[in-house]
Every structure is written in C-alpha cells, then in structure tokens.
Amino acid sequence: MNQIYMDYAATTPTDSRVVEAMLPFFGEVYGNPSSLHAFGQEARSAVEDSRARIAAFLGAEPAEIVFSSGGTESDNFALKGAAYANRDKGDHIITSAVEHHAVLETCRFLEGEGFRVTYVPVDGDGTVDPASVAGAITDRTILVSIMHANNEIGTIQPVAEIGRLTREKGICFHTDAVQTFGHLPFTVDELGCDLMSASAHKLYGPKGVGLLYIRKGTRIKPFLHGGEQENGRRASTQNVPGIVGFGKAVELAGASLAEEAARLVALRDRFIRGVFDRLDGIRLNGHPRQRLPNNINISLESVEGEGMILSLDMLGIACSTGSACSSSIAETSHVLTAIGLQRGFAHGSLRFSLGRYTKESDIDAVLETLPEVAGRLRALSPVYAGKK
Ligand code: PLP
C-alpha cells in the first residue's frame, strides 16, 4: 500500500543528511563536552559550532541559545524561569486560550503556585488581538506568552506587535515558535521576543532536542539544577549528537526556506481548493491567509474526526484530528472551542500538515479518497441523514 504522511506538524522524519552528520557523535566523538581533555573538547567544539550556526540563523548571540530536551522543556523553562525570577515585581501572567498544552499546563501549575493568569481570547480565525493583550496588562504583569503560530489550525499570531507593546512596558515576552522555527523567515529581533522556544524534530532534526532563546539581560531562573552546563542555565550533559543534528537541520532549512515555503503554500492551497470543490458541509479552520504554509485544518459536518483518521489510516493516509480522546469521550480541542466552532463541526475536524516529502500527487490522491470516506461515515450519521 502506498503510504502518505500528512502529519508533519506532529513530527518530521529526520533528514538522512542530519542522521549522517550525527552518526560520528555516537561512537567516535563521544567525549563529554565539559571534560577538559581532547575527547571532551572535540565534542564541545561541535556543540558550539551548532550553537553559533543556530544563533546566526536567528540573528542572536551564541550565548543567548540554551539547548534543551525539546519544545515542552523550553516552554516550561521560559514560563517557570521568568515567573520565579520576576516574583518580586509582580504575579500576573498573560497568555492565550489557544497555546500548546506545554504552555497552558505550565500556566495552570503556576496558578497553583500563587501566580494569576489571564487567558486572552482569540477571534473566529484564531488570532489574538494585540489590543486584548494590552488591555490585560496591569502593573503586576511580569510575563506575556503568545505562540508564533498555532499547531492545530496554523494561525500566525501578530507577535511583532505584541513584542512592541511588551517592550514599551518592560514586560518579558515569550513566544512558542515550535511550529515556525525553520519554516518561516524571522529573527528574534523581528519577533520582538525575550524568550523563544523551538524543537528540532519539527524541522527534520532528531527528537528530544530543542532550544530556548534567552535575550541578553532577561531575568530567568534555571529550570534544571546540577552542573554548570549551558553557562549555568541548564544542568545536564548535553545531547551532543542531537545538538549536532539540530544544527544540521537548521542549515538545511535555511538553505531552502523561501522556496520550500512557497512550494508548500501552493500545495496547501491546491488541497483547500480541491476539498471545497469535492465536499459540502465543510469549513476551513484558522486564518485563511495568515496561516502556516503547511497547515490545512478542516471540519466536516456530522463526521467524527477519529472515525475519519482511522478510515484514512487503513488506506495508508496519516493525518490527525483536533480532538483528543480522554477516556471514552472524544473531547473537543481547546483551540476549536476557542474559535467558537459549533458542536456539529468541532468533532469532525482533521489536520493535514504537509512537508518536505509531500508531492502534488499525494495531494491529489488524498483529495480523491476523502469524499468517499466522508460519504461513508456521513451515511451512518443520523444527524446528517436528517439534513438531506
Ligand atoms: N509547542 C508547540 C506549538 C508544539 O506544536 C509542540 C509539539 O507538538 C510543542 C510545543 C512541544 O514540543 P516537543 O514535542 O519538542 O516537546
């Protein structure tokens, strides 16, 4: 069976050139980067090369990059680290209703620690209005965390505007750029952020490695305690092969970023046009234009997303749904709830995310399959049958 992977937002395959760059750092260059001898120094220099390359890509200083175990750790580090470091200044945090769980659950934890959190709403396209961030700021606000682009519906947030207003007020600004780093062109100065999270496995790098950008002068407490690695900011022996792979992945992404984004936009729009031509009772979730080049999130009226995923999976097509199953009840995703999706639509949402190996023929094959699968499931739906 020909398999078609359209879940690049969940993770990407590690590029073979990345694997090749990593391989020597398992068995040949295996020193601990903190060791003073030649074995250690060789590993250290590979880590520092990667740091310098990634920093240059972001328009940052190498010392502003702290490697971590991934996006989740970077988000935890950013929020807890900045909250505790600024506790003497205030106790109020602002975030949005559509953040990744790595941010939302960290905020819930911080609420338990005595911090207050405002979750600003989004509009029907999933966009945060900078005016609502401005309106939520009080003299107790110490941190604002708004993601660069949403992982479910692909909406790109006006982070530069939000960065300008936090800068004016001297408030720390974190952005979760896990879905945009290596996919959209930007520097940290263009985003106007003090803290930024990224993860290697979303850009054809290995899993289990990420980074937190920390602008020079930002107050932040360490998250992991132990050795003095990463300039005393993150204890633990560095994941040398992972960091080398991350650097290679960034080099590859940077070499073709604009062309790849344009190619994906064309594929994405072909998919969206095709789906609207072939199916009724559907809607596109997320901003029609301010969206990730690779994201398609559609809702099919009176269809269960899980049923669609499983049926498509049996045909070799991998995509994902906006709802997460908790016990036996399919819960509507917090993102789809936040954009005000009606019940009939919210359960039938599907996310197709495209990537480096997606071809036009893959799009056409999925477009051919979708109407038949949706039709079969709709035929079983009493609600949909009643509408016809
Ligand atoms: N933030 C966003 C927006 C994400 O999409 C993800 C992963 O899906 C994460 C954070 C977590 O990243 P990681 O899987 O590297 O922990």
Q: Could you tell me the residue range of the domain that residue 88 belongs to?
A: 16-255
Q: Is 63 a residue whose pLDDT tops 50? A: yes
Going 353 to 358 to 361 to 365, the CA torsion angle's sign is negative
Q: What is the CA radius of gyration of the chain?
A: 22
Give the H/E segment covering residue 4.
Answer: strand 4-5
In the reported structure, the alpha carbon of residue 97 is separated from the centroid of ligand 1 by a whole-number distance in angstroms of 16
**Structure letter (DSSP) for residue 207:** T
Task: Tell which atom from ligand 1 comes closest to the C-alpha of 75.
Answer: 10
Alpha-carbon distance 66 to 68, whole Å? Answer: 6
Pair (324, 208) in one structural domain: no
Task: Tell which atom from ligand 1 comes closest to the C-alpha of 151.
Answer: 5
Pair (208, 218) in one structural domain: yes
For 90, how many CA atoms within 13 A lie in the half-sphere containing its CB? 17
Pair (125, 22) in one structural domain: yes
For 371, how many CA atoms within 13 A lie in the half-sphere containing its CB? 12
193 tagged catalytic: no
Pair (104, 67) in one structural domain: yes
Scored b (16 or more CB within 10 A) or e, 255-293 reads eebeebbebbbebbeebbebbeeebebbebbbbeeebbb
Helices 71-85/101-112 angle, 10° precision: 30
Could you report the per-residue pLDDT of 13-50, keeping only the tens digit for each?
A: 999 999 999 999 999 999 999 999 999 999 999 999 99
Q: pTM here?
A: 0.96
Pair (234, 192) in one structural domain: yes
Identity of the residue numbered 355: G
Pair (245, 295) in one structural domain: no
Residue at a domain's end among 232, 255, 278? 255
Pair (151, 277) in one structural domain: no
**379 pLDDT tier (thresholds 50, 70, 90):** confident
Alpha-carbon distance 11 to 355, whole Å? Answer: 10
Residue at a domain's end among 255, 287, 319? 255
Pair (73, 204) in one structural domain: yes
The DSSP annotation for 137-161 comes to: --TTEEEEE--SB-TTT-BBP-HHH
| Given 107, 172, 193, 325, the catalytic residue | 325
Pair (133, 170) in one structural domain: yes
Ligand 1 pocket, residues with Cβ under 6 angstroms: 70-72, 75, 100, 102, 147, 151, 176, 178-179, 199, 201, 210
Domains contained in the chain, number: 2
Beta bridge partners of 251: none
Residue at a domain's end among 255, 271, 291? 255
Q: Is 126 a residue whose pLDDT tops 80? A: yes
Mean pLDDT across 73-84: 98
Mean pLDDT across 202-210: 98
Q: Is 326 a residue whose pLDDT tops 60? A: no
Residue listed under structure tokens 């903190």: 34
CATH of residue 347's domain is 3.90.1150.10
Pair (244, 293) in one structural domain: no
